[in-house]
Each structure stands twice: as C-alpha cells, then as structure tokens.
Amino acid sequence: MHDLIPKMFFAALSAAVLSWPTSRADSSSDQQALQADSISLAETSDSTHSAHGTAADTQPAPPPGPIPDSVSGYLIPGLPFVEPPTIRSRHGVLKLELTAMATPVRISGKLVNARVYAATAYGETYPPSYVPPILALDPGDNLQITLKNELGEPTNLHTHGFFISPMGNQDNIFVDLPNGGAFLYNYELPATLSPGLYWYHPHYHPLVEEQVFGGLAGYIYVRGLKQLLPEHLQDVPERFLHLKDFQFNRENTIPARNINSDNPTHRTVNGLVQPTMGMEAGGTQLWHLGNIGADIWYNLELSGLEFTVIAEDGNPVDRAWTATQLLMPPAKRFDVLVQAKKPGAYQLITTQMNTGPWGDDYPQALLATLNVTGPAREPAALPTHIQPFDNLAHATVTQERVFDLSENPNTNKFFINRRVFKPNHVDATPLTGTVEEWRFRNTSLELHPIHLHVNDAQVMSVNGVPQDARSLVDTIPIPYATKDAEGKLVPGEVVMRFKFRKFVGPYVFHCHILAHEDRGMMSIINVTSPGSE
C-alpha cells in the first residue's frame, strides 16, 4: 500500500515530467525523484487511478432525464427544522460506505435531479439525500470511508480542515476515482485534532463546482467542544445547520454546466427552505454553522441577537467573541452559542451583499425562523475564554512568499501568480517544522476566499492592519483591489503564517469559490522534511 502513495500523486504529474517547467525553483534532486517515480508509474498503468485532467477523465456525465413539474412538485417553505442522521465512531473507529450518485432527491418537498451521497454503516442504510449523514468522531479516531462512484464521471473525497497526511489513502485530492470504481480512504486522526465542525466534499479538478453544487457535501463533527465550555453550559442543546444553495432548471435538474452563481438561488438550511426552529426564552443553544455550498457567500444575522463564536474552522478560539453578523465565504464554519432573553420570532437571514465589482450580488434572504417561547428569562453567563492556541505571532519566520490572485473576466480564467492550475507545477516547497509567512495580493475586483489543505493559517494583517488572531483558521477572504486617489490599483492584501507541523507530501491551496478553483485558481505545494531532500 505504501508504494501507492507517491504513485497516485505522480500519476497526476506524469504528463508534466516530460516538460518540466524551467521556472520551477526546487532542487534538481527533487526533479530526479519525480522522474524516478514516473517510471514506476508506467509499470502500474493498469491502475484504476490514472492521471487527472485527460479528456477521457473529465468527460462529464450525461444529463439525467427531466422530471415533469407534476411529479416534481413545489418547494415548501416553513417546514419544521430537522437534522440529518449522525453516524458515530465506535471504539475509536468509524467505518462506512459512501456512494456518490446522480439521482432525484427531495429538497424542501420538491423532487430534483441532484448529485448526492448515500451511505451504509453498521447495518444501517442511509438513502441518497441532499444533506448526507453527519460523521461524528473523537480526536484520535480512525475513519474508514469506502467511496463508491456511481456519478457517471470521476470523483474523489476531501476532508476539509483535517490535520492529516495529504498522501496515499488519506486526504489525497489527487486520487482519481473513475465511474464504477471504489476507493478505501483510511484517515488516521491525530489525538490532538481540534474539536469543532469539519466537512467532506469531492475535490476532483475541474469538476468540483458541479459536484458540490449538485449536493455532494456533508458535515464531520469532531467532538470535545462542549467540554471546553463552563460546566453550566456543557449540556446545552446542539443544532447542526448545513447552509447550501441550489438552482434548478426547467427539467427540475440542478445544473452541472455553466453554473451562474449570480443567478437567483434557493438558500436552504438542512435541505429545507426557511425551516422553523424552537428555543426556550432564556435558553442557550450551540449552533454548528457551515457554508458548504459551491460558490456563494452568506452574511448571517439573527434579528440583532449576538452570535458568540467559540470555534472557527474547527479551531476553538482563545477568547470567545461576539458578533451580530457572521461573514461566511464558501467553506467557512463557525461554532456559536445563541441565546434569547425574550420570546418572539427571530429571523436568521443572510443580508444583501456583493463580493466586489467583478463578483456577485446577493439579495437578502430568510434562512430560518427561530421561535422563542415561554416567559422572558435572563440567559446563562457566557464564557470569555475557550482554549489557547499555538500563536505564531512571535515565531521565527524562515520563508516569506507572495501569491498574486488575479482573473480575466473576459476569458473567465482565474490565476495564482499569473498561472492557471497545472497538476505539474509546484509553487512552494516548505519544510516540516518551519513557519512561513505568505502574502496574498488580490489584484482582481472581487473577493477570493483562500483555503490551504492540511495546515491552518494565522492571519497577521488585512490590508496592512495588524490582526490579533483568536485562533487558526482555514478559509480566509482576501479583499479585492481598490483604486487610490490617482486611480492607481491597490491590491487587497492578507498576510498569514503557516506552521508546517508534521505532514510531508504534495497538497493544494486554492480559492474556495469552486468555480474559480475549477477555472484555475489553485496551486500545489510540496512539503518535505529537512534532510529528506
């Protein structure tokens, strides 16, 4: 099995080895290693996991049959809030089968053609659903997912936020699982994995947007957050709110081609349009919020109530912070405490917003209604501190890097350092145990949320303003460029630090607006150990 590790990655590189870019700054011994592995790849050409990006690979699935309106029915708003089932680990192991398929499912009462997961685990069958089961784990667990592909096109799986190896059958987004195939992912979670909300979704370039937009995205919850709360809050009710949006065409199919994220869309919470939730006056609830849609943003408000953030992107914060608005780019997660003193109907909305002159405009939308009942009552005291984190502000930085984010609105291509993603191009080769400082400069006129796999980031400054980080994070909006008084373009800029703690191997960073990622805004880093070069 070990042999497969480099081969799967270098399968993705195989075409490249023939024309290795001259601009690559890495050592020539690296290059020799790549060539050596590409030779061994040839010996395994019968492997079901072939290179990414060939014409045959990215052949899209044929469109599904239309669903007549008489069969599809209508979206029903205001249904009671429900959550998907949870599959829990047992004795340190969670073993399940996940099947990605194109099939009709009901979303808030309406039948639409979607791309979704079905699951089986411990003798239970979980039918295909727009919101798949929540996988609940403890730090240190072993997660074994057999992914079966019935989509009609290739796919794979990414565990967003996990601090695990990017190689072999762990968080390896270079795996190419063809239609009809199966692949065993075997994730070894570190005992130190931080508690909070994570998620899973396909990462098969360049079909990621359509697969996530079709419905292929679910939650992973790593337990232990409640134990970080004061004792009087450790048994508060929890709610998992999956934020996903979908569009459907005349044939009642979620589009897979030419998705326009600026089109009118249906925002859903747990696959429901504007569901109703309940809470007792004076009560406290722990909400797990994640934007697991493909492209669009949320700016949440709850009728002026405060969200008390206790974790961000699966990282408990050192100081709890409160906000009446939560900006959530695609992939963003917050674990928050919510309280209401007085009874009433509180509206969870996403406000009107736009993502820049070249970006999208979203109208305000009601997401859910929280009905608070009973006599007014003072809620419990909230915590101010949750858990310290490994603050990198005073770390020794061994390497600085600059990444330019740009786009061409005419060709609809998106670039990092003026290149579209190439499976053969490595942009950086950090060493384990070091801290690097990366400067992202956005010269385009829209926001781009940047996500690095495996290692979380500490935001140091935004547009030159120093930031006092409360935790590490994994999805960071980079502000768009503006013009100064003389009309000169001033890039939006975020400086962040990464500590490459442990895992070696190639992995990616990219814009998590998946249309941008699919159209080029992604790049590879290859982490090595000092002495292994």
Name the site residues for Cu ion (rule: CB under 5 A).
Answer: 448, 511, 513, 516
Burial of 310 (0-12, 13-18, 19+ CB in 10 A): buried
CB nearer to Cu ion: pick between 57 and 404: 404
Dig out the tokens for 335 from the structure: 């674990």
**Kind plus residue range of the DSSP H or E element containing 405:** strand 397-408
| E strand residue ranges, 110-265 | 110-121, 124-129, 134-137, 142-150, 158-160, 182-188, 196-201, 218-222, 238-246
CB nearer to Cu ion: pick between 122 and 358: 358
In whole angstroms, the minimum distance from the beta carbon of 463 to Cu ion comes to: 17
CA 431 to each of CA 65, 301, 502: distance values in angstroms, whole numbers, following the listed order: 50, 41, 9
In whole angstroms, the minimum distance from the beta carbon of 337 to Cu ion comes to: 31
CB nearer to Cu ion: pick between 197 and 513: 513
Query: What amino acid occupies position 122?
Result: Y
CB nearer to Cu ion: pick between 239 and 448: 448
Dig out the tokens for 317 from the structure: 């914060």
CB nearer to Cu ion: pick between 119 and 496: 496
In whole angstroms, the minimum distance from the beta carbon of 401 to Cu ion comes to: 19
CB nearer to Cu ion: pick between 445 and 511: 511
CB nearer to Cu ion: pick between 267 and 516: 516
* Residues 6+ positions from 122 with CB-CB distance below 8 Å: 87, 90, 95
In whole angstroms, the minimum distance from the beta carbon of 256 to Cu ion comes to: 20
Residue environment code for 446-478, b if the CB has 16+ CB neighbours within 10 A, otherwise e: bbbbbbbbbbbbbbbebeeeeeebbbbbbbbbb
In whole angstroms, the minimum distance from the beta carbon of 289 to Cu ion comes to: 21
In whole angstroms, the minimum distance from the beta carbon of 444 to Cu ion comes to: 8
User: For residue 181, which of 205, 149, 155 has the smallest C-alpha distance?
Assistant: 149
Report the C-alpha gap between 245 and 215 in whole angstroms.
9
Cis upstream peptide for 206 (omega within 30°):
yes
Report the C-alpha gap between 430 and 416 in whole angstroms.
18
In whole angstroms, the minimum distance from the beta carbon of 421 to Cu ion comes to: 12
CB nearer to Cu ion: pick between 108 and 261: 261
In whole angstroms, the minimum distance from the beta carbon of 492 to Cu ion comes to: 12
For 528, which DSSP code? B
User: For residue 238, which of 197, 267, 191 has the smallest C-alpha distance?
Assistant: 197
